[in-house]
Amino acid sequence: MNFDFSDEQKQMRDAARKFLAEKCPPKAVREVLDGKAAYDKQLWKGLAEMGFLGVAIPEQFGGAGAGHLELCVIAEEMGRANAPVPFSSTVYLAAEALLLAGSDAQKQKWLPKIASGEAIGTLALFEGKGNPSPKAIKLQASGGTLSGVKKPVPDGAIADFAVVAARTGSTGRDSDISLFLVDLKAGGVEAKSLTNIDPTRGQAELTFKNAKAEPLGAAGDGWSILTQVLDRAAVLLAFEQVGGSDRALEMGRDYALDRIAFGRPIGSFQAVKHILADMYVSATLARSNCYYGAWALSTNASELPEAAAAARISATQAFQHCSKNNIQVHGGMGFTWEFDCHMYYRRANATALTLGSLSYWEDQLIDRMRKKNAA
Amino acid sequence: MNFDDTPQEAAFRAEARAWIQANAPKQYEEELRKSSLGRTVLKDANILEVAKAWQKKKADAGWACLHWPKEYGGRGSSPIERVIWQQEEGPFGKLSGMFIIGHGMCGPTMMAFAGEEQKRKYLPPLASGEKVWCQLFSEPAGGSDVAGLRTRAEKKGDDWIINGQKIWTSGAHYSDYGILLTRTDPTVPKHKGLTMFFLDMKSPGVEVRPIKQASGQSDFNEVYFTDVKIPDSQRLGAVNDGWNVSLTTLMNERMSIGAGVSTGFPELFDFCNSLMLEDGPAIEDRNVRSKLANYAVKASGLRYTSMRAISALSKGERPGPENSIGKLVAGSMVQEVAMYALDLQGAAGVLSGPEDAEVAGKFQAMLLRAPGTRVEGGTDEIMRNIIAERVLGLPGDIRVDKDVPFNKIPTKGRA
């Protein structure tokens, strides 16, 4: 049994950590947090140069052709650094959708641009409140154009193209939904930035008015493709969450070692130690669930749907738990804008919702476990 | 990343599987498979006899205490081979419950501190299960603070005379030998006046009394010592160095790797799959699903955490500290699972008789046993301290009794 990343993959993780420590210090994250830029363009360019944007994209489409385990270790570091770039929307959602369902021409058109950092992509799925559901998709497709409103769309205001879920039927079945590729710069789409709890990852409203669109995958296959894309993205995003959890735990630990109160480091008080121990527990459970998700993702195992849901739930819980208690350990200072704690708290709570909320994934997990049990 | 055996591991697994297939007491397989959480009982047989017979059979064929050296009754196996054996032994591994303390803690302590002749005499029958050992550490005045123990050992000629009381001793009532931590010098700080011995549990002056637990069952004992004589040759380690000896014992806690810890989740999932609520099957209820999902990811998280440790063993590395979370997570989870399973039964959840209760009262029994799991072998709080101090590197607690002679430490709280 080798339920671990290989030495080469660990080296890649170290390289990514080193690169991000240098190019993405908290100061850089704050540029975006404070609204001085929509995302960190220099960092985005650097990630492309390092080959990180196309790590799981096959060489024939301009990527490094490494694989998804390699992408997982990079995702972890993106989360640890709180990187203010459209990595998850472009790489986990748009690129994965193209890899799963794109025609050769579509892949040829967009994947090399993703790998080189020239194109930002996203998935336009949600239409207001609610979790992923075919019933919630109202945006209409007709005659090769789309009309309707999508929000929130992650990184929608800076994206060059979007994978859009649209209604192509009215039978009440999943097959009413189809996916489309839309060049957001080609006219017919209006993007409006929306204020959100984590300004380091933008959210937008996209209004489609007879926007030109080409089908992605077969008509009526939209929901089935989406489900797979969301599962794959769930594993990758879970690695970001684990990276963020670990960082929040380290910040709390370091502060507890340095801060003196009542004449001793606060980390010597059991009340504080136990908070940190529980953070370690949740981060460890999440990491282990993520490893299983990584294995399932990289081997396309039939266990992927269940593994993805478990990784998603566990990592969401861990990041929320670690980021909120990191603030608690910091006391008043943790609640200042100046300290970095709130950046992780924001990211944790935004990430908890972006692919559908915790309760949605809980539901999914039990459905999938039941199916496996029945089989 | 894969779950495959190396060729060597696969060969070992095949050999182990074939031997188990041919030799295990199959008539009890189903019953053992179904038993869970704490108490393993067999309807028509004395489990102690079945367990001893299985252990002896394993020992005769060289499958007992795999990682011990051959000359002491083991097989000289690698850590990963031991894990593979545990996986293959499956439900029959539950028969090893009565040997866990002896094999996991007493044996390694003897191996580190007993004389060569003693090791050759005592270890093989310990490995084969012919002799059962217990560990006599905890006392009424020394639980989490085990170094606060008061059982006295006083030198008299070539012997030591023991007086005092131990508590929470698992299996003392069927044990042949025990390792015993005593106080030999009360005038020095508490960690510096302890000495370790091993003794024959049939020695005159040893009295074992079962404890009736809050659950109504009796798995543990009190052991009283009245002028019990132990020859100095049965001392383990130097006089007053017993604390360091005991650390060796407590460090040998790798048993849980691969064996897995009970969380109650599989039982709860099965239960919810079959239970009907007013509005339909429990498993289709939104609240139930949410609860189940939360327990599911804890259970899977523990399972994969132990796989990570096994992977490290397979590569010949030491497992990381991740496995230290197992007992902490599983202990409180079992309790919550039990409470939730009863909650789902409404008012009828109070009924615990096998004829009235769902799943023959399994969850009610789990509920009543669960408080113990959060205390035994290190309380939840001690486990959190260990994680905080040894894994996260936080400072130890400030110990006000550290430099105080033991006999000057206050013994009462509120007067």
Partners of A315 on chain B (C-beta within 8 Å) are: none
Q: What is the pLDDT of residues A262-292, one digit of tens each?
A: 999 999 999 999 999 999 999 999 999 999 9
Confidence of residue B259 (pLDDT cuts 50, 70, 90): low
Distances (CA, A) of A205 to A126, A167, A179, B126: 10, 18, 18, 71
Mean pLDDT of chain A: 97
Question: Bridge partners of B154?
Answer: B161
Predicted local confidence at residue B113, as pLDDT: 96
Q: Do A309 and A365 contact (CB within 8 A), yes or no?
A: yes
Minimal C-alpha gap between B138 and chain A (Å): 23
DSSP per residue over A2-71, as a string? B-S--HHHHHHHHHHHHHHHHH--HHHHHHHHTTS-SS-HHHHHHHHHTT-TTTTS-GGGTS----HHHH
Q: Do B280 and B171 contact (CB within 8 A), yes or no?
A: no
Predicted local confidence at residue B39, as pLDDT: 62
User: A87 is written with which tokens?
Assistant: 């990595």
* Cross-chain residue pair B394–A295, CB shorter than 8 Å: no
Domains of chain A by residue range = 7-85, 122-220, 223-374
Name the CA dihedral angle for B306, B310, B311, B315, rounded to a multiple of 10 degrees: 150
Predicted local confidence at residue A318, as pLDDT: 98
What secondary structure letter does DSSP report for B236?
Answer: E
Q: Do A323 and A348 contact (CB within 8 A), yes or no?
A: yes
What secondary structure letter does DSSP report for B174?
Answer: G
Q: Do A362 and B294 contact (CB within 8 A), yes or no?
A: yes
Interface of B with A in 301-330 (CB under 8 A): 301-305, 307-308, 310-312, 314-315, 322, 325, 328-329
Q: Do B136 and B126 contact (CB within 8 A), yes or no?
A: no
Query: How far apart (Å, rounded) are the C-alpha atoms in residues B373 and A61?
Result: 55
B389 touches chain A (CB under 8 A): yes
User: Topology of domain A122-220, per CATH?
Assistant: Butyryl-CoA Dehydrogenase, subunit A; domain 2 (2.40.110)
* Cross-chain residue pair B385–A310, CB shorter than 8 Å: no
The closest of B135, B136, B164 to B151, measured between CA atoms, is B164
Model confidence at B260: pLDDT above 70? no
Comparing B6-20, B74-88, B157-171, B219-233, the range with the smallest average pLDDT is: B74-88
Model confidence at B364: pLDDT above 50? yes
Residue B130's SS3 state is: coil
User: B242 is written with which tokens?
Assistant: 């017993």
Confidence of residue A322 (pLDDT cuts 50, 70, 90): very high
Model confidence at B261: pLDDT above 80? no
How many distinct helices (H) and strands (E) make up chain B? 14, 10
Mean pLDDT of chain B: 92
Picking from A73, A270, A273, A316 by the largest number of B CB atoms within 10 A of its own CB, the best residue to mutate is: A273
Minimal C-alpha gap between B299 and chain A (Å): 9
Q: What is the pLDDT of residues B90-137, one digit of tens each?
A: 999 989 989 989 998 999 999 999 999 999 999 999 999 999 999 999
**Mean pLDDT of the region A102-115:** 98
Q: What is the pLDDT of residues A192-208, one digit of tens each?
A: 999 999 999 999 999 99
pTM: 0.95
- Helices (H), ranges, B207-345: 242-251, 256-259, 265-274, 286-314, 326-343
* Cross-chain residue pair A362–B294, CB shorter than 8 Å: yes
Tracing tokens 């096994």 back to the chain, one arrives at: B310
Model confidence at A244: pLDDT above 50? yes
Partners of B258 on chain A (C-beta within 8 Å) are: none
Q: What is the pLDDT of residues A125-179, one digit of tens each?
A: 999 999 999 999 999 999 999 999 999 999 999 999 999 999 999 999 999 999 9
**Mean pLDDT of the region B390-413:** 91
**Which CATH superfamily hosts domain A223-374?**
Butyryl-CoA Dehydrogenase, subunit A, domain 3 (1.20.140.10)
Partners of B395 on chain A (C-beta within 8 Å) are: 257, 264-265, 267-268
ipTM: 0.96
Q: What is the pLDDT of residues B289-323, one digit of tens each?
A: 999 999 999 999 999 998 898 888 888 887 777 77
User: B166 is written with which tokens?
Assistant: 């131990």
Q: Which string of b and e fits B280-290 if b means at least 16 CB within 10 Å? A: eebbebeebbb
Confidence of residue B254 (pLDDT cuts 50, 70, 90): very low
Name the packing angle between helices A41-49 and A7-23 (round to 10°).
150
* Cross-chain residue pair A1–B328, CB shorter than 8 Å: no
Predicted local confidence at residue B291, as pLDDT: 97
For Cα atoms A249, A254, A256, give the angle at the middle one, nearest 5 degrees: 95
* Cross-chain residue pair A277–B305, CB shorter than 8 Å: no
Minimal C-alpha gap between A274 and chain B (Å): 6
Residue of A278, A280, A295 with shortest CB distance to B1 = A295
B293 touches chain A (CB under 8 A): yes
**Which CATH superfamily hosts domain A7-85?**
Acyl-CoA dehydrogenase/oxidase, N-terminal domain (1.10.540.10)
The full set of domains in chain B, from first to last, is 7-127 (1.10.540.10), 133-242 (2.40.110.10), 256-378 (1.20.140.10)
Residue of A280, A281, A285 with shortest CB distance to B297 = A285
Query: How far apart (Å, rounded) are the C-alpha atoms in residues B267 and B370?
Result: 15
* Cross-chain residue pair A268–B396, CB shorter than 8 Å: yes
